[in-house]
Structure 1
Amino acid sequence: MYPVSSSSSSSPATNDVSTPLLNRNRPRSSQPLRGAASRLLRRASSRGMMLRESSVRVRETAAEQIEERQSEWAYSKPVIVLDLVWNLAFVFVTVGVLWFSSGEEPRVPLRCWIVVYNLQCLLHVGCVISEYRRRHGYDNLNRDSDSGLTSSEDESDGPEIESGTSLAKHLESTNAMFSFVWWIIGFYWVSAGSEELAQSSPQLYWLCVAFLAFDVIFLVLCVAVASLIAIAVCCCLPCIIAVLYALAEREGASDEEIERLPRFKFLTVRNSEKVNGEILETHGGIMTQLGVDSPSERVLSSDEAECCVCLCEYEDGTELRELWCRHHFHEACIDKWLRINATCPLCKSNILKTDEQSGNDAV
């Protein structure tokens, strides 16, 4: 079976949907990955790392992006197959153990606990299959609508799809809450008479121990993975973007659309300031536009001369990319992000819509 997990997705399309393995039974208002990353960033900033607010917002946006992708990966075919295989394996193992342990008579109803545990596994399998089929049916409907269906037809089918999955979502949430209570009951029965049960009913006893231990291990792994992702988002965001770029579908901007964005070259300007009697050197600079006949220039202060993605200061001669919202980043950092998500990681403005609007204004 599986333990209750409290992770959540920020995607509007999947906000209330339970996902197997990676993200099950999520409360509607909880946002753990984004919240954990934000808390970790602000705590690190207060303890001397001095992360700017813009860098915190970029990492919160990246956490949201991971949560949106997480639901897609959780319902990918390999993950679904793995989830179904191990839940059905529990059922087959249980049938064999119950057959060979027919002569055991434990003083607590271990057989009842095992049977109910496996019924929860089967119910989870049914909910997962139902949600998987719904998602693929919804994807096919979207493809059909892109091929020529009218918006009115699409809107009329939307509520029907959503209502068809409400029962599966409620069943999965109820099943998860009950499984948590059932796990506590089983743990109490097994731990209260462990020595006696190990001698009188060894096969039933060790099967219960295996199920209980699996749930604990699964929960620990989920917490560890979520913590590692949160730390990586805070401390090594370019690595996360590279992983998303390698694994996720290219749903962002195309190379042609990205190349329309202006490129700049950064030239360092060193200034000296006297603070508390000490002379401190600041590293501001000038952004000079590339590839145009009349290049524009922008003066950046030392606070602005830093990439919010990799947290590195702009070096002399570094090539930058500026979005239509006037936010600038290292070219290598922002290009991979835009291929995944065509929005500014700082203000979330859509670069494609802004590009179209600016083109219409020019006409």
Structure 2
Amino acid sequence: MLVRETAAMQLERRRADWAHSRPVVALDIAWNVAFAAATAAVLVASTEENPVTPLRLWLVGYALQCLVHVGLVCSDSRRRPAHARSSDVESADGDAAGAGTDSSDSDEDEDEGREQRSSFAKRCESINTMVSFLWWIIGFYWVVSGGDVLEHDAPRLYWLSVVFLAFDVFFAVFCVAMACFIGIALCCCLPCVIAILYALAGQEGASDADICFLPRYKYSDPSEDGQKGTDEGVMIPVLNNSGTSTSERILLREDAECCICLSSYEDGAELSALPCNHHFHWTCITKWLRMHATCPLCKYNILKGSESA
């Protein structure tokens, strides 16, 4: 879950950075300015046209909405680099605590001012989007109600209005399709890919040669005639295939249990210990390490020599 949430956060951050990147912002500004310029050119060239519906008014309103959107985008693009720089400075200053209350208060005031301006810009963008949607409905009604008469009496105004209406429809369909694609990818593909990668990373098995280097022991239970005479057992080292041995280990009776098979150690049982000092039945840990090269308890990786996350 932590891996999945981190990946989703990284994707969301990358998506936000991509949406406010310079190429995307430049393209957004370019086509809105082009729409406004095209509207001005057609209005000047169609002074003699007499449309039966107020298409001139609709085109002027459409161009004003484009210019308002350009102004909001430019304001947001100028505010984001400044906000990023201030965030970097705050993160760098965060390591040196107690630098002064006056500077921290001024930073808090600046943060509040930036948040207020950002929320105001978002509200303005939302209002502009809603007005644009309503204005699109009005323009669609005027174009449809004008019909062939509007096309004959005011062809330039008519076709420019049709182009703007069609572009808005295409852009809306494109955004919905991209949102559905991203949503499906986040809900289906991303968890599958993360699960596969996580499974492959977690199921990296050890070879028999790696397992043979682990120290082996024989458990000695100091009981006599079935009566427990002491609370401690002894792990007696056995010479392994690598020709090395280790010292004896004292093992408390409550710890004399294999966490893999959940069985207590019996007298004469073959054991093995990992570099993290956790011990198991030799047969149990051998089967486990062939599938997972990590300790079942602390996730110590015997191949990498460190604890895996």
Q: TM over 0.5: same fold?
A: yes
Q: Which residue of 2 aligns with 1:155?
A: 108
Q: Which residue of 1 aligns with 2:28?
A: 83
| Alignment-mate amino acid for residue 203 of structure 1 | R
Query: 2: CA distance between counterparts of 1:118 and 1:319?
Result: 65
Contact 1:62 1:233 in 2 (8 A): no
Q: Which residue of 2 aligns with 1:66?
A: 11
| Alignment-mate amino acid for residue 98 of structure 1 | L
Cα gap change, 1:196/1:60 in structure 2, threshold over 3 Å: closer, same or farther?
A: farther
User: Displacement of 1:82 after TM fit?
Assistant: 0.8
- Calculate the TM-score normalised by the size of structure 2: 0.59
Cα gap change, 1:202/1:319 in structure 2, threshold over 3 Å: closer, same or farther?
A: farther
Give ranges in structure 2 of 5+ residues lacking alignment: 195-200, 207-259, 262-273, 281-289, 300-307
* Equivalent of 1:131 in 76, 101, 120: 76
| Alignment-mate amino acid for residue 183 of structure 2 | A
Query: 2: CA distance between counterparts of 1:154 and 1:85?
Result: 35
1:237 corresponds to 2:190: yes
Identity within the alignment, % = 45
Query: 2: CA distance between counterparts of 1:61 and 1:179?
Result: 36
User: Displacement of 1:121 after TM fit?
Assistant: 0.4
Give 1:26-37 correspondences, 5 Å limit: none
Query: 1: CA distance between counterparts of 2:167 and 2:63?
Result: 14
| Alignment-mate amino acid for residue 155 of structure 1 | E
1:114 corresponds to 2:59: yes
* Equivalent of 1:144 in 74, 82, 89: 89
Give 1:203-222 correspondences, 5 Å limit: 203-222=156-175
Query: 1: CA distance between counterparts of 2:148 and 2:4?
Result: 51
1:293 corresponds to 2:275: yes
Q: Which residue of 1 aligns with 2:147?
A: 194
* Equivalent of 2:135 in 169, 176, 182: 182
Cα gap change, 1:236/1:166 in structure 2, threshold over 3 Å: closer, same or farther?
A: closer
Query: 1: CA distance between counterparts of 2:61 and 2:82?
Result: 32
Give ranges in structure 1 of 5+ residues lacking alignment: 1-53, 242-261, 268-284, 287-291, 299-315, 327-334, 336-350, 352-363
User: Displacement of 1:266 after TM fit?
Assistant: 5.0
User: Displacement of 1:236 after TM fit?
Assistant: 2.1
User: Displacement of 1:171 after TM fit?
Assistant: 1.7
Deviation sequence 1:7-58 (CA, Å, 0-9, x none): xxxxxxxxxxxxxxxxxxxxxxxxxxxxxxxxxxxxxxxxxxxxxxx7xx97
Secondary structure (helix, strand or coil) at the match of 1:236 reads: helix
| Alignment-mate amino acid for residue 77 of structure 2 | Y
Cα gap change, 1:229/1:88 in structure 2, threshold over 3 Å: closer, same or farther?
A: same
User: Displacement of 1:233 after TM fit?
Assistant: 2.3
| Alignment-mate amino acid for residue 109 of structure 2 | S
Query: 2: CA distance between counterparts of 1:65 and 1:72?
Result: 10
User: Displacement of 1:134 after TM fit?
Assistant: 1.4
Secondary structure (helix, strand or coil) at the match of 1:193 reads: helix
Count of matched residue positions in the alignment of Structure 1 and Structure 2: 216
Q: Which has the larger radius of gyration?
A: 2
Deviation sequence 1:85-128 (CA, Å, 0-9, x none): 01001111111111211111101000000000010000011111
Cα gap change, 1:196/1:63 in structure 2, threshold over 3 Å: closer, same or farther?
A: farther
